[in-house]
Amino acid sequence: SLPRLRISQAYREVAKNRKAFTGENKEFIANKLNSANWMIQAIEQRRQTMLKVMTFIVERQREFFERGVQYLKPLTLREVADHIQMHESTVSRVTNKKFVQTPRGVYSLKYFFSTGLSTMSGDDISARGVRDKIKTLVGDENPKKPLTDQALVNLLEEDGVKIARRTVAKYRDQLDILPARMRKRV
C-alpha cells in the first residue's frame, strides 16, 4: 500500500503566514504549496486506481488464489478498464512492473492477464492454466511412452478443455518441451 502523504506542519505554518511575505517570496511559497498539493492528489489518485484494479483482479481470479494456476481465468486489460471505467492504457501503466505478494508467492500483476479458451462446460480457462496442465501431463508421463500432441489434446478434452493439436504444439514449444519422439527414453 502506498503511504498517505501530507505537507509537514512546519511548511503548513509558513504557507498559512505567507501574507507576511512580499512579492517573489509570496509567489514562491504559493507555487510550491500548489505543486505539493497537486503531487499529493496525483499519488492519491494512483493509489485509488491501484486499489480498484487489484480489487477487480482478486475478485476475478479468486479461484486461482484458492486453488492454483489451473484455475486462472482469462482476463484482459480491456475488461479491467471497462469495469473500473478508465482507459486501457491507464490500467496497463498501473500494472506495469508492479508485483503482488500472495499466499501462493509473489506475482507480477501482468501474470493475471491472459487470453483464454472455452471449456466444454462453457467455462473459460486461461492459456496459462492450459499450459500448466500440459506441463503437469508431460511431467507425469511414462518416459518410455511419451505423450504425443494428439494424446495431450485427448487428455485435455477429457478434462473438458477443447483445444486444437496445433495449439497444444505451440504451448508445448512455449514451455520448452520437446516433441514426444524426442522425449522418448529407453
CA dist., res. 149 & res. 172, Å (int):
8
| Model confidence pLDDT, tens digit, residues 100-156 | 999 889 999 999 998 887 777 777 888 888 999 999 999 999 999 999 999 999 999
Task: Tally Cβ neighbours within 10 Å of residue 79.
Answer: 15
Question: In the structure, what pLDDT confidence band is assigned to residue 2 with cuts at 50, 70 and 90?
Answer: low
CA dist., res. 120 & res. 182, Å (int):
31
| Model confidence pLDDT, tens digit, residues 63-100 | 999 998 888 899 999 999 999 999 999 999 999 999 99
CA dist., res. 39 & res. 42, Å (int):
5
CA dist., res. 61 & res. 71, Å (int):
8
Is 170 a residue whose pLDDT tops 80?
Answer: yes
| Among 3-7, 59-63, 125-129, the range of highest mean pLDDT | 59-63
- List the grid coordinates of 54: 487489484
- List the grid coordinates of 162: 477443447
Give the pLDDT mean for 48-58: 95
0.85 exceeded by the pTM? no
Give the pLDDT mean for 21-49: 89
SS (H, E, C) the chain: CCCCCCCCHHHHHHHHCHHHCCHHHHHHHHHHHHHHHHHHHHHHHHHHHHHHHHHHHHHHCHHHHHHCHHHCCCECHHHHHHHHCCCHHHHHHHHCCCEEEECCEEEEHHHHCECEEEECCCCEEEHHHHHHHHHHHHHCCCCCCCCCHHHHHHHHHHCCECCCHHHHHHHHHHCCCCCHHHHCCC
Give the pLDDT mean for 174-184: 93
Region of poorest pLDDT, from 16-20, 138-142, 180-184: 16-20
- List the grid coordinates of 55: 480489487
Correct CATH for 116-183 of 1.10.1510.10, 1.10.10.60, 1.10.3860.10, 3.40.50.300: 1.10.10.60
CA atoms within 13 Å, Cβ hemisphere of 177 = 24
CA torsion through residues 8, 47, 51, 83, sign: positive
Boundaries of every domain in the chain = 9-112, 116-183
Contacts made by residues 34-42, CB under 8 angstroms, sequence distance 24+: 36/7, 36/11, 37/7, 39/5, 40/5, 40/6, 40/7
Tell me what pLDDT residue 186 has. Answer: 59
Tell me what pLDDT residue 121 has. Answer: 79
